[in-house]
Structure 1
């Protein structure tokens, strides 16, 4: 019986998670597998009902559009619903019970751990499941004013209140503030989605532009940031960071991060 985990979403063909987890399994010589499964929202309850009865199944990562809905189908002993409001990982706890958690927050912070955001302004695009994890992390980083740009500003305002952040909620076309960090948590710019069109002129010279989209890896937002010689963080950074936390939950082993450059080359091949 070969243990396995997987990633679920709709669509899912673009996911690089299987490449990441299989790379680590190979390096650690662990007999296991990691797969991708397209699951419709209406099929989530049936999916987990079937998987919980499979002793080889170690859990799954959860991507768009199920990060909020998954909490309606999986136990939440860590109160992820109240703390973040979205889950991206389901794993087996003691006795085989399923547990929902969120590794996105840790994955988001991993590549900017050396960036001092204390009291500095931040701009976030989007107000979905990924935005919740990012805002949760930012709230614990002592940031200053946070501006959320979203199609529905009211949704952004609700998230600012939920995470105890001071700032503004504006429509997508609004002018950016002079933020030290700009994060795109939306699907805009992803393959098959509309582009994210922002004027980066208001950002200071030391600003960091962070796009969690990784298909394509070189988004229009990141190209525009590099044209201004701004520091950038691409979607693979967060993807690998959150995957590392999930891998340990699934397979009980610390992923070999010393091979990150080799992993990145394989992901870009």
Structure 2
């Protein structure tokens, strides 16, 4: 759905030795271990006694199943950092640590700094602020061991009754949303943190929370390319490192009503 002729900047300056290590490491993994590298279970960044069932669960996931990373959802700064360091020490391969820090660490961590919502940022009309915000959040994320921020929200909020995206999106205007997504991505990348544009192919035009039900997004490929996908295309051009797919029904593309965008090959 999105053209492939983009140059793609790398966040890492890899030496040939680095590349050789990566290739050799992957070659020496079993199929099961390769599959496990694609799994990133969620974890709470609260204090965990090493005798607790939750700590033992994490220990099994990291040591025995050899998952690829962890995503932290809530807690506090110190305990998340401590738990991250413990799990990294247990892992055979470095863990990819991720969090939802759309508007700063305070979105997930009770003692973290929380910035304004994306729509408030876009209301300033200042793209430099968007760059600086992405960079500031990334610097704080790296300080506690987070490598990937599941942000920005690239949805175009073209339904004012949207209960889940709403002011998390930069704008109902596709150009404004695209410009601010791009600036945020570039700022984050400048501080060497990975970015994620979400929720593909666009979660803005719905009045349903996809955490509770499956929203239906109207339109075909042509209309999506002209509207919802504009900000995702811009994000890719800006160097976004991943795309998060939304749990969305797209009947204009996927006729099977049982397949959401997350499961549809057509989408």
TM range (shorter): 0.3 to 0.5
Higher-Rg structure is 2
